[in-house]
Structure 1
Amino acid sequence: MSFEEVFNHIVKFMTIHPRGKYRLMIGTDSQIHTAHTVFITGIVIQQEGHGVWACISKVIIPRRMTQLHERISYELSLTEEIVSMFTEDRKNQLINIVLPAVYEGATFTMEGHIDIGAGKRNKTSEFVKEMVARMESMGVEPKIKPNAFVASSYANRYTK
């Protein structure tokens, strides 16, 4: 699907129930294979309590990316690439769907799910500040493990 088709699916999903509480979540995970590394970016629109619509984008790098910082940084770059496609005009189009019902509880938020954790035992904890700052600089609410389920669960499923 083209990004325009993905965006149109999100618009249709939100238009069905314009009074919903919507979360647009984007996150990437990776898996090192024998001769390549697979990156999957998940794009998920959730109407809280009423389901989701989701799709993925797949990138294969023809080498083993064994350096953790390089791989995490590339995951975030792929997430940032998708986030940047949601221009101000496109975000406003989505916001305008729920805007008439905002006083009835309708909401729209956009999140960047980063496949890192802050726990002391987590190998990625040293990258949290850097990666969170990158998401914040794009005007997107960053989420890390355990709240980064689009990256750590949904996208992860398709990296195998």
Structure 2
Amino acid sequence: MRNFQVMNYSFENLSEKNLSFQQVFDRIAQFMKKDPKGNFRLMVGTDSQVHSTYTRFVTGIVIQREGKGAWACIRKVTIPRQMKNLHEKISYETSLTEEVVSMFTEERKDQLINIVLPHIYKGAAFTIEGHIDIGSQRRNKTRFLVREMMSRIESMGLEPKIKPEAFVASAYANRYTK
């Protein structure tokens, strides 16, 4: 008999715990409705940290109104072993990002787009980005994964971002993997 881990679909931030995805979506929509003329970036990214007996993965969701603040939350997943193979670890990070992004169904994306739609001629915008904790510089040992992981993110209709632009994965989520 196999022992499968039940995936944790609860999200949290510094002020709230045990948020369902619907509650996360509602917070994002509320944030956007405060200033529907804003330039919004919805960003999702995952980072991980290998510990002595487990590997912790943290996926961050950030809605940013450029120049006017952000709302964010995280989702933690723990794998009960050390995941040391770099390709496996980065691929799993990307899968967790894809999984959270897939919760933003076409209907949900349309709801968010419809918040800014009446204001696009006044500078309002909405983009969705997938942040991947990899880099293309020569010194970066993940550079061999850039094309594969960016293709996966693009295939979901997202704008892929890698280091140094992938701050949701490399900075925000990273802070909670320790």
CA distance in 2, matches of 1:37, 1:62: 7
Higher helix share: 1
2:119 and 2:168 map into 1 onto residues whose CA distance is: 27
Task: Verify: 1:87 aligned to 2:105, yes or no.
Answer: yes
Q: Give the corresponding residue for 1:76.
A: 94
Residue 102, structure 1, aligned to residue 120, structure 2: yes
Q: Give the structure-1-normalised TM-score.
A: 1.00
- Fraction of identical pairs, as percent: 68
1:30 counterpart residue number: 48
RMSD of equivalent CA atoms:
0.3
Aligned length: 160
* Paired amino acid for 1:98: V
Deviation, structure 1 residue 107: 0.2
- TM-score calculated relative to the size of structure 2: 0.90
Gapped regions of structure 1 (runs ≥ 5) = none
Larger RCO (CA under 8 A, 6+ residues apart): 1
Aligned position for 2:61 = 43
Could you list the runs of 5+ residues in structure 2 that have no partner in the other structure? 1-18
Tell me which stretches of 4 or more aligned residues in structure 1 moved more than 3 Å: none
Matches within 5 A, 1:145-156: 145-156=163-174
Q: Distance in 1 between matches of 2:159 and 2:103?
A: 16
The residue aligned with 2:24 is 6
The structure whose residues are more often strand, as a share, is: 1
Aligned partner of 2:73: which letter?
A: C
Give a deviation string over 1:114-158, Cα, whole Å, max 9, x none. 000001110000000000000000000000000000000000000
